[in-house]
Every structure is written in structure tokens, then in C-alpha cells.
A and B are shown apart, each in its own frame.
Chain A
Amino acid sequence: MWEYAPAPESRDIANLKPNYRMFIDGQFVEGAGEPLKTVNPGTEEVLAEVSTAAPADVDKAVKAARRAYDRVWGKMPGSERAKYIFRIARLIQERSRELAVLESLDNGKPIKESRDVDVPTAAAHFFYHAGWADKLAYAGHGPDPRPLGVAGQVIPWNFPLMMAAWKIAPALATGNTVVIKPAETTPLSALVLAEIIQQADLPPGVVNILAGAGDVGAAVVSHPDVDKVAFTGSTEVGKIIQRQLAGTGRRLSLELGGKAANIVFDDAPLDQAVEGIVNGIFFNQGHVCCAGSRLLVQESVADELLEKLRVRVSTLRVGDPLDKNTDVGAINSREQLTKIQQLVETGDAEGAQRWTSACPLPDKGFYFAPTVFSNVSQAMRIAREEIFGPVLSVLTFRTPDEAVAKANNTPYGLSAGIWTEKGSRILWAAQKMRAGVVWANTFNRFDPTAPFGGYQESGFGREGGRTGLEAYLDV
């Protein structure tokens, strides 16, 4: 492995403040909840204190959103809404470096990912949806589709800013107003997005951003004056929300967990496949709901592929998220690190063969070395449960039908990967996958024009594309 001199981004670029406040009705306000301390998972040091919402604050935010919907946003012509949303897109682009550093500090993801994926994709989502605001009649949902009203949105910690964009942009474009709560461990980029929304001069109350833990999220999604709930997070919580909304008539979209199969056929270009497998499971430390966490490889090439994979994974650099050379950053929280460790132990106990990269890990911070399990059987927990970490489970198959059967043998259905040089086989396998996104000879591609979302227990509703607008329209 080559030696690299460290090439760290300066944390000063993040413009960190000691305190962050919530954004309600166009103002930054102190919430009545217990303030939380957000931690840099790369170093375990406290980054900032963030004020959080009490139930009364949630109510205030929903009321502000309702007022903004009734008086301004709901009746504003689409062409005017569009210009506000374009402003947000441009402001994100202008402040992209600051946002990238802030995101890596608060989340632990490598700076090269926050810089090249999270922030540009967030800006692109606003840009794309801005263009829809005055074109809804062409989106295929009828001649004059109407907004739903107030959207209550709860997002996870793995892509904090990008998830905020995926939620807020389509809601605004379609004429809804928003109350959104970022994750407890990663509130900062959403609160800087609030600054951007203020700089864009959005009417007060159109977007309200709360902070806090799961109880605040629960208060948002169960608030009786919220017309639509959008949740991205675990399948477990998704089920609770679906039960809560049962019988209320309120609209719901869910983007939940996954256990994606990445299928490598014997004719696949193996070196290219190795890159895709690595990207599929080690991108964002594996904190990706659509991660390719189950590698299904055809038996005849399994040994060769595994050898290549181990060599490649050994070169991944784990460490300081702000270092531009870092491939795998910090696990987002101690809690998540513990969960990963526990699941990995079940892999050992159930007889899978563990290989872990010998890469050095920093002394402080939450880190987990890239790990590959082979000899995995479908019954093992590491083959069934979402680990949400840099851990790959490798299974083998002999025939294409067997690959399909194994890939679909999961209650999830968010994504899948297919590696083969044969185009007809790609399309055949894609047709057979019970998954909302299928990548062929690539993995983890995201674009605002391409709908994203799951089958089965990975949730329902799509984000992105023409289809994604439906989740926020009364159709």
C-alpha cells in the first residue's frame, strides 16, 4: 500500500458555531426541549449544542406551516415557487464546500463523498424540482394536480443534507409546506440549510426545521394537522408510523431498510465488478439503505473474485473523515458501532468465515475496519438483517435461477446489482428482481431524475423523477 501524506480539509471552513437553533416560521428559535450535544464521530468531541423541540414547539411549527400553506405557498403560481427553489439550489452550490466539511464533521463520512456526492446531489434535487413547480400539468398526474397541505418529514443520519433535499424539494415544488426533523446525531447541515432558506427569502413558515430525538419525530408524524408524512429510516420505525396513521386518511410514504443482493455472474468483468462491490458496501461506511450488503457470486468465479476483492479492500484507507485520501470514514455513533459489532459476532457464532482488513484505525473516534464474510448461508443473521455498516456477506450460486431466488429471499426490496457482460441477462435479471432500483454494472447511482424507493418492507412511494411528485400531490 502506498504511503500518503495526510490531506485534511480545514474544519474552519464549516463555520461551526457553539450553538444551533431550530427554524420555525422564518425565525431561528430556542426550543423548549432538552438541548442536545452533537458529536464528531471521527474524534468523539462535541461539535455544538443544539436546541430541541418540546411538543409545544412541534405544534408551533405545524401551525406556521399551515398558515404559510393557506396564505402564501399553496396559492402561489408555480413559476414563482420555482424561482424560490432555484435560489435554494444556487445557495447550496455557493456554500458547497462549507456544507461538505460540516457534513463530514457531523456525520463522519469521508470528505470526498460529502463533497462529490451528498452536497451536489442535494443541490441537484432542488434544481430539478424547481423546474417542476410550473410544469406539474405535464407530470402525468392530471391537468391541475393539487398539493396536500402540510408535510411532516423525518429523515435519517446517513445522508443528512441530501435526505433533507429529497424531502423538501418535491414538497415545495408541488406547493406543500414542510415541517422536517433531521436525525438526533446529525442536525447541523439541516440547520445551515435553514439559513439558506432564510437567505433565499422564502416566506416564513414554508419550511420549518426542528431538532431532537425520536420523540420529536414521533410528535411530527402523529400531529393531527399534518396532511402527509414522509419518513426515511428503519423498517421497524416505519411499521410503527404506518400503524399510527392507519385510519386517519393521512398520506404516507416510507423509504426503509434494505438487504440488497449484488449478483456477479461468471461472465462479469471481475475487476470492474470488484470496484462496484466495494462501492456498493463501503460507500458511506455501509450506512446506506440500498447498500449491496449481500454479494451473490457464481460459484465458478467465487474464489478468484474473493481474492481480488480482499486485495482491493485491503487498500481502502479508513480514518479521518476530513482527509481527502480517506475512503471509509467514521461510524456515525457509538450506538451504531455497537450494533455492527454485535451482528458481526453473530456471523462468527453462526459459522461464517470472517476476513477483516488489516488497515490501521485511529485511536479515537468510532471506526470499524472493512469486513467480508464468506461461507455465508441464507439462514444466518448477517445474510438476513440490515447491518448498516462496512460488512459484506458473500454467498454463492450455481444457476441464474438460483441467483434470482436467493436475491429475492428477503422481506426487503430496495435495490439490487447485476454484473455481467451480457445485456440480455442484465434485462432478464432486472425483470426478476423484486426491488425498486436495479443497477447493472454499476452501483449506488443517484439522480433527481431517477425515481428511488422500495418494494415490500423497504417501503412505498418513490423519490425523484416524475413519479416522485405523486407522493406530494392529491392524486
Chain B
Amino acid sequence: MSENRIAVAKTYKLYIGGAFPRSESGRSYPVVDAKGAFLANAAQGSRKDARDAVGAARKAFAGWSGATAYNRGQVLFRVAEVLEGRREQFIAEVAACEGVTVKKAQSLVDAAIDRWVWYAGWTDKVATVLGASNPVAGPYFSFSVPEPTGVVAVLAPQQSSLLGLISVVAPVIATGNTAVVVTSQDRPLPAVTLSEVLATSDLPGGVVNVLTGRTAEIAPWLASHADVNALDLTGAPESTRADLERAAAGTVKRVLRARPSEDFTREPDLARLRAFLEMKTVWHPIGV
């Protein structure tokens, strides 16, 4: 590239049902780097965008949850492969929006890709680790298997723009849920790039839907939406959490509360996989 070439700037849009629409509201908001310099305009998602995203996630649920665990693992590993190919872009975006050194950004991006691989490997192992055959006191074969909860609304962490984002999205879809993700409000650009990765990785449209915008504006609509089954509050502003939990009670949503100052560089445990699983117990008589 010659030095005086003008770069083509990207339009950062929402990701809903496998497509990249602008916000139906026509709104956008400026995204700046850690020093306050303009980076891009991001779409400012609305209530209607959120509802469209929930609809897309619901539509994708049957196919994604019905796919074999092996197939989901293959698709998610494919995502990791494409993530690796975008490594340089992610490093630049993370460095810009988080204000960290390139070296630090490299380690965050590498950890994010490896995190995705970690969760990709769980698709066909969750059942053997969390499921059971139950030695009931009678002539019955009884077993319990984990199944995905459904549509999960995820409020992504506000600080960790990629590693945190991947740490909350991957476990939701690994087990067969579909997701509506509200990105970090002020650091949304790596999430939009992640959408582009997901769109080109054999992940069916609608499995992950990504909304940029004001978390406090969008979250209540998701928390009260009757077709959302669970809510991850990780990125919810402190002052809104209790209200969101209350709204979630309307349809008895599973709520994953935010852990105080969660450190996403640490190796995760099973908590985020467990949070969005239902345990199903099946009984069948034994007898000739």
C-alpha cells in the first residue's frame, strides 16, 4: 500500500439474523479511542432492533440446539480459525479502544482466541460431565441430560471489549442456546468485527445477534421480553441490575448475576456453561 493512499473506512452496523442492518431507528453514536479521538460511528440499537434480534435468535434456536454436539463443535472451531485470521485487526481495535499497548492487546487477543477454542471443545463434553444416570431404587432406567435454556440475552462486559465479550458469548452458544448480545457501549468495535467473523464461519444466522448502543436503553426491553429465556447481567450498569432482575421475573428468566470485577484473563470454570442449561430427567421402566 502506498503511503499516501486513503484507506476505505468501514461502516459499523448491527448483526441480526445473519445480516448487517443499520439501526431501524436511524441513529448512530460516535465511538472514540482511549484518548478521545474519533474512531467510527456505531449503530445505536433500539427497542425494535432488540425485538428483531430476539425473533432471529428464537428462529435459529431449533436448528442450533438440534444440531449434534459434534457439529456445533466443528462450527465453533471454525470460528476460532477465522478469528485467528483476523488477529491483526483485533489487536489494532483492542489497542485503540482499550488504550493498552500493542503487546498487551496481542496477549488479550490470543487469550480470546484460545478461550473460544476452550469452549468449542465443550460442546460434546458438557453432557458427560454434567449429566448422569440415576441409580433410582426401582426397576427404572433414569438419566439426566443437560439441555440449552433457549434464547439468552447477554449484556457484554463494558471494559474487556474482545476477551470479555468472547468469554460471555462462547459458553452461551456452545451448549446450543442462541444469543442476543448487547456489546460494550463505549468499546463496541471489536464486537462488530466479531460479528463479521461469525457471519463467515458457518454459524447459522441468528445464533448470535449483536446490538451496539446504550446498554441502559436496550437492556430493559430484553429483560422483560417474554421470548427471552435467560439474562446475563455481566455488563449491566450497577444501578440498573436490580431493576433488570425484577423485570426478568416476569417470565421467570434465569439470571446470571455479574461477578464483581470479573477477571477475564483467568482460566474460566463451568459457571457460564451451567448458567444456561436445563437438566432433563427421563424415566423408563426396565422389565422383560
Residues of A within 8 A of B (CB): 79, 82-83, 86, 124, 127-128, 130-132, 134-135, 138-140, 400-401, 423-425, 427-429, 431, 448-449, 465-466
Contact = CB atoms under 8 A, between A and B. Distances in A.
Contacts, number: 67
Nearest to B69: A449
Give chain B's interface residue range (CB within 8 Å of chain A).
Answer: 20 to 34
Contacts of A427: 141, 284-286
A425 B285 CA distance: 9
Interface string B258-288: 0000000000001000000000000011111
Contacts of B121: 82, 130-132, 134-135
Interface stretch (B2-10, B124-132, B175-183): B124-132
B227 to A, nearest CB: 32
Contacts of A449: 69-70, 124-125, 127-128
Contact of A79 (B74, B117, B141): B117
A448 B74 CA distance: 14
A428 B288 contact: yes
B117 A425 contact: no
B114 interface: yes
A423 B283 CA distance: 11
Nearest to A130: B121
B287 A135 contact: no
Interface in B57-102: 69-70, 73-74, 77
9 contacts: A127-B77, A131-B121, A132-B121, A135-B125, A400-B288, A423-B284, A425-B287, A427-B284, A466-B128
A400 B288 CA distance: 7
Contacts of A138: 125, 129, 270
B118 interface: yes
A131 B121 CA distance: 4
A439 B270 CA distance: 32
Best-surrounded residue of A127, A131, A135, A428 (most CB of chain B within 10 A): A131
A470 to B, nearest CB: 13
B125 A132 contact: yes
Nearest to A404: B288
Given A79-B117, A127-B74, A131-B121, A428 B287 contact: yes
B120 interface: yes
Best-surrounded residue of B73, B114, B125, B284 (most CB of chain A within 10 A): B125
Interface of B: 69-70, 73-74, 77, 114, 117-118, 120-122, 124-125, 127-129, 141, 270, 284-288
B64 to A, nearest CB: 19
The majority secondary structure among interface residues of chain A is: helix
B85 to A, nearest CB: 14
Contacts of B127: 449
Nearest to B77: A86
A127 B284 contact: no
Contacts of A79: 114, 117-118
Contacts of B141: 427
Best-surrounded residue of A79, A132, A140, A465 (most CB of chain B within 10 A): A79
Given A124-B70, A425-B287, A428-B288, A135 B122 contact: yes
Contacts of B288: 400-401, 424-425, 428-429
A438 to B, nearest CB: 12
Contacts of A131: 73, 120-122, 124-125
Given A82-B117, A124-B70, A424 B287 contact: yes
B123 to A, nearest CB: 8
Contacts of B69: 449
A424 B285 contact: yes
A431 B285 CA distance: 12
A424 B125 contact: no
A138 B156 CA distance: 26
B287 A134 contact: no
Nearest to B115: A79
Nearest to B141: A427
- Leading 8 A-B pairs by shortest Cβ distance: A131-B121, A427-B286, A424-B285, A424-B287, A400-B288, A427-B141, A466-B128, A428-B288
Given A425-B288, A428-B288, 15 more contacts: A83-B117, A127-B77, A128-B70, A128-B124, A131-B125, A138-B129, A138-B270, A423-B285, A424-B285, A424-B286, A427-B141, A427-B284, A429-B288, A448-B124, A449-B124
